[in-house]
């Protein structure tokens, strides 16, 4: 395998000249450039991309932090993000953080040490102060991580309202609401607050079942649904994330209640699993592809030293009618 010294010898120049040419770190005449290109082609020399990137304090790698890739929302987000990063010339480092308590901290440390150029954070188990200390490119997905870190999210308030109005229009009187954990400040909580506000405004009885923070596995969803049924909670309408809603629907059907005849369901996220279950789930759909593209666009701007115009990017949501509601 040819080395940089072999290229220098073949082209009749010094090693420093080859280094300046490869790293674009100084003047190299056009005549010398031609010689170097011909020498590299002749010797089949491949530059050490990692070394060159480290010279410029860039790696071309973006870390995408998610709790659990088995969760449909995050798996879809990661797929779209990887494709979009490729368009910008970046590679993606996928970071699952749910299993290791210190994983998030370790990945942020990689950003400090220039192992990755930026981080798209779809998790938050660390104190916000940890993020504030890192003056590096970070974009938050649906999390508030500090005043200088842009956030990409959706209009959750509208989403919560759409779900509430749909169940009310379907004549539901006793609602089971799977509510996300409230341990940290996050835009997604707005959907729960708005859902509860609309139900209270219409005097609809609502039972809130608060989920553990940062838990997204289906084993956990089955556990909480069994807990609901063991407590004998009465409901004729259900609202929750795709996972809890589907698990609850399955248990409802196993309990010989009809969907949507006896119980109506509206889920939130609208991932592919809501369309492959039977009956198909009525869902408030987040534009996951749009969230991924906006996150990548922002991280690219930050890495390039450009200031983002809007601190927060908020995308629209829509209701997709399925077979778990009548109207």
Q: What is the pLDDT of residues 250-285, one digit of tens each?
A: 999 999 999 999 999 999 999 999 999 999 999 999
pLDDT at 253: 98
CATH T-level fold of 61-153+289-314: Rossmann fold (3.40.50)
Reported in sequence order, the residue ranges of the chain that DSSP labels E, i.e. its strands, are 61-66, 91-96, 118-121, 138-141, 151-154, 174-179, 205-210, 237-241, 264-269, 282-285, 312-315, 318-320
Residue of 13 and 125 predicted with greater confidence: 13
Question: What's the predicted TM-score (pTM) here?
Answer: 0.81
Q: Read off the pLDDT of residues 233-242 as tens digits, 9 standing for 90 and up.
A: 999 999 999 9
- The least confident of 42-56, 135-149, 181-195, 231-245 is 42-56
> What CATH homologous superfamily does 156-287 map to?
Response regulator (3.40.50.2300)
pLDDT band at 101 (very low <50, low <70, confident <90, very high): low
Mean pLDDT, rounded, of the chain: 88
pLDDT band at 217 (very low <50, low <70, confident <90, very high): confident
pLDDT at 297: 95
User: β-strand 237-241 against 91-96: which pairing, if any?
Assistant: unpaired
**The domains spanning 61-153+289-314 and 156-287 adopt the same CATH topology:** yes
Tokens coding 154:
């959706």
Report domain extents, the chain: 4-55, 61-153+289-314, 156-287
Rounded average pLDDT over 239-249: 97
As a CATH number, domain 4-55 is 1.10.260.40
Rounded average pLDDT over 300-308: 81
Q: Is the pLDDT of residue 185 over 90?
A: no
Beta bridge partners, 269, equal: 285
- The least confident of 46-50, 65-69, 95-99, 197-201 is 46-50
């Amino acid at each position: 395998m040819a080395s940089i010294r072999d290229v220098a010898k073949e082209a009749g120049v010094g090693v420093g000249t080859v280094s300046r040419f490869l790293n674009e770190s100084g003047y190299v005449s056009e005549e010398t450039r031609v010689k170097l290109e011909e020498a590299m082609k002749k010797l089949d020399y491949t530059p050490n991309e990692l070394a060159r990137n480290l010279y410029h304090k860039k790696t071309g790698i973006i870390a995408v932090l998610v709790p659990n890739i088995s969760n449909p929302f995050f798996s879809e987000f990661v797929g779209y993000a990887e494709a979009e990063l490729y368009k910008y010339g970046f590679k993606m480092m996928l970071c699952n953080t749910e299993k290791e308590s210190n994983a998030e901290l370790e990945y942020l440390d990689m950003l400090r040490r220039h192992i990755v150029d930026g981080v798209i954070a779809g998790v938050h188990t660390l104190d916000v102060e940890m993020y504030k200390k890192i003056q590096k490119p970070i974009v938050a997905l649906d999390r508030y991580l500090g005043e200088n870190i842009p956030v990409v999210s959706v209009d959750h308030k509208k989403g919560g309202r759409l779900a509430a109005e749909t169940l009310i229009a379907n004549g539901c009187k006793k609602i089971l609401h799977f509510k996300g954990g409230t341990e940290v400040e996050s835009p997604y909580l707005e959907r729960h607050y708005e859902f509860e506000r609309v139900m209270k405004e219409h005097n609809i009885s609502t039972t809130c079942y608060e989920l553990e923070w940062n838990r997204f596995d289906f084993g956990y969803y089955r556990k909480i649904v069994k807990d609901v049924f063991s407590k004998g909670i009465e409901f004729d309408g259900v609202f929750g994330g795709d996972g809890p809603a589907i698990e609850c629907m399955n248990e409802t059907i196993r309990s010989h209640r009809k969907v949507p005849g006896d119980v109506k369901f509206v889920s939130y996220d609208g991932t592919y699993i809501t369309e492959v279950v039977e009956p198909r789930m009525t869902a408030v759909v987040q534009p996951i592809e749009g969230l991924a593209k906006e996150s990548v666009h922002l991280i690219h701007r930050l890495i390039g030293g450009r200031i983002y115009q809007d601190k927060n990017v908020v995308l629209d949501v829509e209701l997709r009618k399925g077979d778990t509601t009548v109207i």
